[in-house]
Amino acid sequence: MRDNPSNWFSTWEQQLPKQEELIPISQTLITPKLANFFNIHNPHNHTQPHPQPNPTPPQPISVEVDSSDPARTRRRPRIVWTPQLHKRFVDAVAYLGFNNAVPKTVMQLMNIDGLTRENVASHLQKYRLYIKRMESGNVDPVNDQLFASSPVPPVLLQQSRPSSDNCFPRQHHVPSSMESAKTANGQGSLTLFQTGDY
DNA sequence: TAGAGAATAT
DNA sequence: AATATTCTCT
């Protein structure tokens, strides 16, 4: 259990000092302007010589961020790749062809509000690995439940090996799920789910 | 400069 | 394990 890699974080977390063991620092880490913008107040202001047991819940520690655009630097919550979402992903990749499906174009084709290029890039990386595993006959339906939920279009398997005569765009037909994405006004109808952790 | 892909972090 | 973030190229 000690070496269980899934527990290292909580182990580390438990070893952190307790709230009352922390010594308040005197330096402010954030400019007054930013603090005001984020509605963050110094819990032990000069008016309190001795730290009282916190009357208010502890504020998150803020680190100075040199950015004029908080929205751009705010961490996005992790998304959940549901079978539905993955299906849309596979359709997009199949439509583009294995060799010219890149994160940006896949993201645009999927047309899902809130889905970023980074989200797709990360998923595409795993998907390519899965296809390699598949070619070598190493499919583990337990570990690969999500990927197994949408069959890999045969076209993709044909294209997955780089070869001079099949590495160019071949646009057969638009998958039905892509059609529905186009007819809808604006975004595709799929909802993006997020996890609570993080 | 954007952005793809691999490597690494959480 | 799943997903995010960073790094290295082009």
Statement: the CB of A41 is under 7 Å from strand C? no
Question: Residue A79, CB, less than 7 Å from strand C?
Answer: yes
Q: Is strand C less than 7 A from the beta carbon of A76?
A: yes
Q: How far is the CA of A68 from the C1' of B1 (A)?
A: 20
Instruction: Decide: CB of A126 under 7 A of nucleic strand C.
Output: yes
Cβ distance A112 to A91 under 8 Å? no
pLDDT at A47: 30
Residue in A115, A58, A52 with CA at minimum distance from that of residue A85: A115
Q: Could you say which residues 109-148 of protein chain A have a Cβ atom less than 7 A away from any atom in strand B?
A: 117, 121-122, 124-125, 128
Tell me the longest C-alpha to C-alpha distance in chain A.
77
User: Is-contact A87 A188, C-beta < 8 A?
Assistant: no
Q: Which is more confident, A55 or A142?
A: A142
- What domains appear along chain A, each with residue ranges and CATH number? 83-136 (1.10.10.60)
Dist CA A187 CA A178 (whole Å): 11
What's the Å distance between residue A125 CA and nucleotide C2 C1'? 12
Burial letters A43-59, b for 16+ CB under 10 A, else e? eeeeeeeeeeeeeeeee
Residue pLDDT, tens place only, A124-170 = 999 999 999 999 998 888 889 999 999 999 888 877 765 444 444 44
Q: Is the CB of A150 under 7 A from strand C?
A: no
CA-to-C1' span, A128 to C2 (A): 15
Name the pTM for this structure. 0.61
Q: Cα–Cα distance between A107 and A105 in angstroms, integer?
A: 5
What is the SS3 assignment for A124? Answer: helix
pLDDT digits (tens, 9 = 90+) for A76-108: 799 999 999 999 999 999 999 999 999 999 999
